[in-house]
Amino acid sequence: MALRKAQPRIREFALIRTLARRFARHNTQLIRGIGDDAAVLAAPAPGWWHVTTDLLADGIHFDLRTASLESVGYRAAMANLSDIAAMGAVPRYVLISLAIPSEFGTRQVVQLYTGLMQACRPRHVVLIGGDTSASSTGLFVSLTLLGTTKTGRALFRHGARVGDDIYVTGTLGDSLAGLRLLAQMPSTRPVYRMVSPLRASHKKFLINRHLHPTARLAEGQWLNNARQATAAIDLSDGLSGDLRHLCEESRVGAEIDLGMLPISAACRAYAESRRLDAALIALTGGEDYELLFTAAPVKRATIARHARARGFHVTRIGTIRSRLFGIRMNTPDGTLKPIPNMSYEHFR
Amino acid sequence: MALRKAQPRIREFALIRTLARRFARHNTQLIRGIGDDAAVLAAPAPGWWHVTTDLLADGIHFDLRTASLESVGYRAAMANLSDIAAMGAVPRYVLISLAIPSEFGTRQVVQLYTGLMQACRPRHVVLIGGDTSASSTGLFVSLTLLGTTKTGRALFRHGARVGDDIYVTGTLGDSLAGLRLLAQMPSTRPVYRMVSPLRASHKKFLINRHLHPTARLAEGQWLNNARQATAAIDLSDGLSGDLRHLCEESRVGAEIDLGMLPISAACRAYAESRRLDAALIALTGGEDYELLFTAAPVKRATIARHARARGFHVTRIGTIRSRLFGIRMNTPDGTLKPIPNMSYEHFR
């Protein structure tokens, strides 16, 4: 029942038909996609379903003054794919809900979906449903992603044991550096135009890492199926915060070697150009969508060998300690300090 | 990465812990609920999953000046339960995402969840996850509900055949009448205070039907398991619109007898008191969350007998016709007219 009737810029059912035609695909286990009261999926054999959902708000998670609708869609999908990667699961189905501002037409909605499906389609994730609504204010995007594993096989946050090695995939801090570069671009803040002596290729790399992150699905699935990891989480809030979540769920502490954090040449150059501490950017920067995982020390050689063979970038950065030890970091000056809780929370 | 840092009225992780403690429950097939990157569910045997999602926006789907947070939550959950009812499925799990205005504290969020869980808990639907975010504007609520059926058993919109009877459960139009009564309540519009000569019990009934609708889960499950219905849809947009959806998906037409629409005594009294046509309210009013279903005429006696035995309120209101016939209604003056498409669409 509409309490407020917006301008008829978009008719809901016509929009859903357009989106279904352009973006929906079928697979053999999808009994019914868009077009009924619910999507219907066959679970042909025993197995585990993994379900994750995210709600993204205009002005909180994205800023349409600096980000394109494609990149908002792409990053929203990738954040959910990363959650599925951290479970070691295979992503299967996505539902997309939008609250759409009155100034949007079909073109804007299609742009957003294009970004979403650029992230989903190469991973064979099928769009099966969602909801569209008017918004009397900004754009809100809600995603639900469903993945599968075999029964009994998943990477949880709670499995880390004292003595386990701590690893991360990829490099850390790139996304934060990229976001800061974007925020200083001429189009939005002309006053910063000449500040950065950073190489164009480094800039491009960092901005791309922010706008087009990559969920580590293959890495997560390998760690899960080959039973290499004891626990895993994806780095969405930043290492300092997400390591804390993993430690809380596993009831353990951790010791990280700050000098071992994997940092890209571009992020180091960015830090130098701004006289910032690259390790601090790596420690606290969010939205890298890399995986943080733990594994028993006996797995060290196997993990190194398989990572090389499969082209996975994996770095050992520390050790799981007892809960009493707390969550600490070895700094380059040789002291052991508590890791500050500087993770991003949406309510701060 | 926060682009805009709201006041620290609520800390996200503390809030999630509070909500998980108060509202999450376990069941034997829930491997992992709140607290990991994704919820994990066991599908112990072959079967079908039914997934539906809804996004509700402040000022579009609800108005916090007239509706309590409990009733917003309750109605949001019931709308999704109704979709699952229309599939003939058993609702199992719910994920709830909120974008929360800065003026909300934990108390308001708990009120909303209380309403949501008042709808979910008596149906044994378990809260398994969600997301919380700040909102720089109003409240947005996104729900995802998962249900199950046996493999091969579901009520789709596309199964209606020419000659099938058309039925609805319950009575139609009550929710719209209740909404209009609420909109005229003294607290919001004092000018209407003395208009209605409607009995207090009728008022109460209609307002309750709007604020506390009931998804027809038992009816849907029975129709599905006993293979009585050929197609079904829930009445969220209103009979005129939802019948159209069912006919489009089934590629058929329909003939409805306006005089047979089930209308409550309260709704009739409301219509009289406002000099409105009760049948028109029943035809177009949304959010009744009754079921519209079709069944072969040979099932007529079985359906009537079982409905009586189980206490289901079911009314036959018309017949499925060919697509060429269109979607028409027999009016009390004996003429056959096209049913106007007056269904509510969120973009109108």
Among the listed residues A108, A112, A94, A107, the one whose alpha carbon sits nearest the alpha carbon of residue A25: A94
The beta-strand segments (E) located in A58-176 are 90-101, 126-135, 140-149, 165-169
The shortest CB-CB distance from A97 to any of B58, B142, B176 is to: B142
User: Are residues B197 and B310 part of one domain?
Assistant: yes
User: Are residues B249 and B136 part of one domain?
Assistant: no
Tell me the CB-side half-sphere exposure of residue B272, using CA atoms within 13 A: 11
**Of B117, B149, B181, the domain-final residue:** B149
For residue A133, give how far its alpha carbon lies from the nearest alpha carbon of chain B (Å). Answer: 6
The answer to the question of residue B348 being in a domain is no
**Of B149, B177, B193, the domain-final residue:** B149
Q: Which residue has the tokens 């071992």?
A: A260
A142–B346: do the CB atoms touch at under 8 Å? no
* Three-state DSSP state, A187: coil
**Of B149, B170, B187, the domain-final residue:** B149
Instruction: Tell me the CATH number at A251.
Output: 3.90.650.10
**Counted domains in chain A:** 2
Instruction: Tell me the CATH number at B144.
Output: 3.30.1330.10
For residue A280, give how far its alpha carbon lies from the nearest alpha carbon of chain B (Å). Answer: 15
User: Are residues A302 and A264 part of one domain?
Assistant: yes
For residue B340, give how far its alpha carbon lies from the nearest alpha carbon of chain A (Å). Answer: 16
Among the listed residues B205, B234, B184, the one whose alpha carbon sits nearest the alpha carbon of residue B343: B234
Q: And the tokens for B13?
A: 């992780």
pLDDT tens, position by position, for chain A (348 residues)? 333 333 345 667 677 778 877 887 777 788 888 888 899 999 888 899 999 999 999 988 888 887 899 999 999 999 999 999 999 999 999 999 999 998 999 999 999 999 999 999 999 999 999 888 899 889 999 999 999 999 999 999 999 999 999 999 999 999 999 999 988 765 544 444 445 589 999 999 999 999 999 999 999 999 999 899 999 999 999 999 999 999 999 999 999 999 999 999 999 999 999 999 999 999 999 999 999 999 999 999 999 999 999 999 999 999 999 999 999 999 988 899 999 877 544 433
User: Are residues B268 and B238 part of one domain?
Assistant: yes
Among the listed residues B112, B17, B215, B321, the one whose alpha carbon sits nearest the alpha carbon of residue A245: B17
Give the nearest chain A residue to B292 (CA atoms).
A37
User: Are residues B125 and B54 part of one domain?
Assistant: yes
In this prediction the ipTM stands at 0.88
Q: And the tokens for B190?
A: 């004092």
The answer to the question of residue B2 being in a domain is no
Q: And the tokens for A267?
A: 């992020």
User: Are residues A197 and A76 part of one domain?
Assistant: no
A347–B10: do the CB atoms touch at under 8 Å? yes
The shortest CB-CB distance from A38 to any of B10, B51, B93 is to: B51
If DSSP states are collapsed to H, E and C, what string results for B220-274? Answer: HHHHHHCCCCCEEEECCCCHHHHHHHHHHHHCCEEEEEHHHCCCCHHHHHHHHHH
The shortest CB-CB distance from B133 to any of A32, A61, A146 is to: A61
Show the domain range for B312: 157-338
Q: How far apart are CA B14 and CA A347, in angstroms?
A: 11
The answer to the question of residue A346 being in a domain is no
